[in-house]
Structure 1
Amino acid sequence: MFSIFDLSLQLNAFPIKKAKSDLDKIVALSPQEKKQFIENQKQAIVDYHLQNNAFYQNLVGSKEYKNWEDLPVLNKTNLQIPLKNRISKGFTIQNCYINKTSGSSGEPFIFAKDKYTHALTWASNMYRFGSFGIDFNRSLQARFYGIALDFIGYRKERFKDFLSKRYRFPVFDLSDAVLEKILKKFENTKFDYLNGYTSSIVLFAKFLRKRNLILKEICPTLKVCMVTSEMLFEDDRKLLEMQFGIPIVNEYGASELDLIAFENPENGWRINSETLFVEILDENNQVLPYGSAGRIVITSLFNKAHPFIRYDIGDIGILDEKSTLEKPILKQLIGRTNDVAILPSGKKSPGLTFYYVTKSIIEDDGNVKEFVIKQQKIDSFEIEYVSETELDLSQIQKIEQVITLYLEPNLNFEFIRKDTLERTARGKLKQFTSFL
């Protein structure tokens, strides 16, 4: 018998029953069978798009396919043309799932998934969340996300939340007064899990720490917290574990693809090799060995409506040395390719290095709630922060000394205290931005 979440997908012509059954079969494959399955799917999806997608044919420059490594790497700039010029033969905006990427990379675009692939995305979500005892049809989610603020968009999101067993806490205002109301909701609601943007959930944990409260004691039904869309630093994980009293799970996904990697109960960051194929490439599009940092390039193994073949998602990461084709493990997600600071010496440093170094000092006393770093010139940075009291000269000097140690000397910093920080339209907090 269908439960409400499955039924809502089925009624919208997303074949969730078939998708779940097919995913179960893929999961059950032996390592050797899984290898063969991945190779077969890679071949099949490329052949399909070369025959049925004019945009992809044009990108490849031929209908023939010989070597995987010779296929072009698709980037977000390629995709910033009207969707009707990228969609495969037989598919339309009416018979697909259509959505827009968040634009956190600075390059948003509209994409399509055929209905079976979208159902498979949900089956994949259900399978991975299920390993923590979460059932989308029965488990109630406390959701820390953005929400459309226009009347129709807002109502639509709330209705989708109702069908999906979610209660949403919009993240655009997380002042203490709002966090107090969120706390009250946890006192009176039997939530099973939290899910949402890392920065917002961390802010809630800091609020609990200030009040010396443990969320599990307030809401005993809680099982797990899944954070997504923004970096989870180790000290933030410890804070969440301490203040929530439940396991913290890091997920890495993309709306145009699927869940890409998900921490399993043994703490490995398992890559989804059931519906995706993940490669790490250097700047010349050559495949790097396991253990090397490079661009994360992903192939959607099933999406016939729109090609995502060797698609550069805009992130940098490392696959673990223990990875195999059928069981890849994400060792580290380093950050976005466009979040690199170029310094006066010519040195390039991931912007998150600044964030991480600054974070380790700035939050010692719990005064600073959130901060972001912006590179305005090659030697000039702004640090915008929200705090109870302004940073004093000794704190500022300490931050500058540590950054000199980790990066290089003679960099200029301006510290700007704010009431709130600017978030994307969806409520994400961009931790480092370079305006060079």
Structure 2
Amino acid sequence: MNWFDAILKVKGFPIEQAQKHLNYIQSIPEEEYESFLEKQKQAILKYHLQHTPFYQEHTARHKINRWEDVPILTKTDLQRPLKERLSTAYTTRNVYINKTSGSSGHPFVFAKDKFCHAMTWAIIFNRFGWFGLDFNTSLQARFYGIPLEKMGYYKERIKDKFANRYRFPIFDLNEEKLAEFLAKFYSKAFDYINGYTSSIELFAKYLAKKNIVLKKVCPSLKVCIVTSEMLFPETKQLLENQFGVPVVNEYGASELDLIAFQNQESQWVLNTETLYIEIVDENGAILPPGQEGRIIVSSLFNKAHPFIRYDLGDIGVLSPKSNAKKAYLERLVGRTNDIARLPSGKVVPGLTFYYVTKSIIEDDTNVKEFVIQQTHPDTFEITYAAVADISIEKQNQIKQAVEKYLEKGLRLNLKRVKFLKRKKSGKLKQFESLV
């Protein structure tokens, strides 16, 4: 039985209708697609201008003659009760409700109407299908967090059973636990791995240490899909080497949809079916493909809650090869709040600092993983999980690399712990500025 489809239907999400509509959208010829997007953009804008008091208030001071005049919506704008943000046709009883993880520093509760949420699942089914995966039949090895209180724990385990997935809790990733993870791959015919990059990377490092290729242990394995955290080229290579299958990078936002998904050619294909994606500068002016800026997303089908020209809090670059129907994300730089402001006035993406350090630290097989915090403009604290301290030689190499790629005069404090603490969701924030 198609349990996953059945569960969606029982919950009131019209998945069959959504899949038919997605098929229709994908059948629109390329030369007509820009017209389709324009009509959909104007339709959702008109809907919320007419039916959503919150959005009427948000746009009241703006004269809107063209799309570019529509004011950008930020997460700060949404820091008010959900009931105040819903359109008049919806209540908290007839919508899908969830909350963001808060990784941006602005967690909030959001809503989608049920057709919109069904479209989200239709997109996910479509993209995973590129790699021969079916949510109703493909067994998932799920590297995610799980509630630790008894009720929440068993609720997630029951959901996992019906969703055809086995969850590997990621809050304690010592070698004994990783050995238990590996044992499951001997006994279960997993089709794919899905979860947070940092946790899956730890598992791959364990396999490398044991000189094991997972595909040989679990021949049914087809692909590994990582999400929610940055995937560096070296990490992708490690995962592909140790898993023996392609590694796919997924980029999404719970309040929106799947935003981008890598295809078989490793191109980051943007979701142009249910979203409209723009790149803008710091003043909100639209940038052409190839230029780096803030990622602004409009949900084309959510009538319950407006996400129109919504600033996701991420920085990226569209590929110059993009057109209205076939658009590609060339690069995802990171979050706007993940920047390091240095004493000289220089501003760099925080993950640049992380990446420079990573290239040296990971040569030391003693270090399992690490995170970096900027505690003062000139001070960075590197907390790393390891059984022994990083050698003085390695510490000097890190300092030299930081001077070379960032600037001189920065202070580094290294702190060793047995394991790194993760958020309740299980995510690991690689870089964070407290300045």
TM-score above 0.5? yes
In the alignment, which residue of structure 2 is the partner of 1:261? 260
CA contact (8 A) 2:196 2:229 kept: yes
CA contact (8 A) 1:50 1:63 kept: no
Separation in 2, partners of 1:105, 1:332? 19
Letter in 1 for 2:389: E
How much has 1:34 moved relative to structure 2?
Answer: 1.8
SS in 1 for 2:198: helix
In the alignment, which residue of structure 1 is the partner of 2:337? 338
Q: Map residues 135-214 of structure 1 onto 2, 5 A cutoff.
A: 135-214=134-213
In the alignment, which residue of structure 2 is the partner of 1:88? 87
Separation in 2, partners of 1:416, 1:181? 28
CA contact (8 A) 2:386 2:419 kept: no
How much has 1:62 moved relative to structure 2?
Answer: 6.7
How much has 1:28 moved relative to structure 2?
Answer: 1.4
TM-score (normalizing by structure 2): 0.99
Separation in 1, partners of 2:302, 2:154? 30
Give deviations 1:109-134, integer Å, cap 9, x for gaps. 00000000101100100000001000
Give deviations 1:33-62, integer Å, cap 9, x for gaps. 221111111000000000110000100007
CA contact (8 A) 1:273 1:326 kept: yes
In the alignment, which residue of structure 2 is the partner of 1:296? 295
In the alignment, which residue of structure 2 is the partner of 1:407? 406
CA contact (8 A) 2:381 2:414 kept: yes
TM-score (normalizing by structure 1): 0.98
The answer to whether residue 311 in structure 2 is matched with residue 312 in structure 1 is yes
Give deviations 1:156-189, integer Å, cap 9, x for gaps. 2112211211111111111111111111111100
In the alignment, which residue of structure 2 is the partner of 1:389? 388
Give deviations 1:211-264, integer Å, cap 9, x for gaps. 000000011100000000000000000000000000000000011011000001
In the alignment, which residue of structure 2 is the partner of 1:284? 283
Separation in 2, partners of 1:115, 1:154? 26
In the alignment, which residue of structure 1 is the partner of 2:78? 79
In the alignment, which residue of structure 1 is the partner of 2:14? 15
SS in 2 for 1:323: coil
Separation in 2, partners of 1:112, 1:148? 22
In the alignment, which residue of structure 2 is the partner of 1:326? 325
In the alignment, which residue of structure 2 is the partner of 1:60? 59
In the alignment, which residue of structure 2 is the partner of 1:365? 364
How much has 1:63 moved relative to structure 2?
Answer: 9.7
SS in 2 for 1:170: coil
Give deviations 1:136-169, integer Å, cap 9, x for gaps. 0100000000112222222221122112111111
Q: Which moved more, 1:58-67 or 1:277-286?
A: 58-67
In the alignment, which residue of structure 2 is the partner of 1:111? 110
Separation in 2, partners of 1:363, 1:139? 33
In the alignment, which residue of structure 1 is the partner of 2:24? 25
CA contact (8 A) 2:87 2:305 kept: yes
CA contact (8 A) 1:372 1:384 kept: yes
Q: Which moved more, 1:20-29 or 1:150-159?
A: 150-159
Letter in 1 for 2:93: Q
Gaps of 5+ in 1: none
Separation in 2, partners of 1:193, 1:44? 38
**How many aligned residue pairs are there?**
435
SS in 1 for 2:38: helix
Separation in 1, partners of 2:31, 2:204? 44
Separation in 2, partners of 1:82, 1:381? 37
- Same amino acid, percent of matched pairs: 57
SS in 2 for 1:116: helix
SS in 1 for 2:204: helix
CA contact (8 A) 1:47 1:65 kept: no
Gaps of 5+ in 2: none
Hey, which bits of structure 1, 4+ residues long, moved more than 3 A?
62-65
Separation in 2, partners of 1:407, 1:23? 46
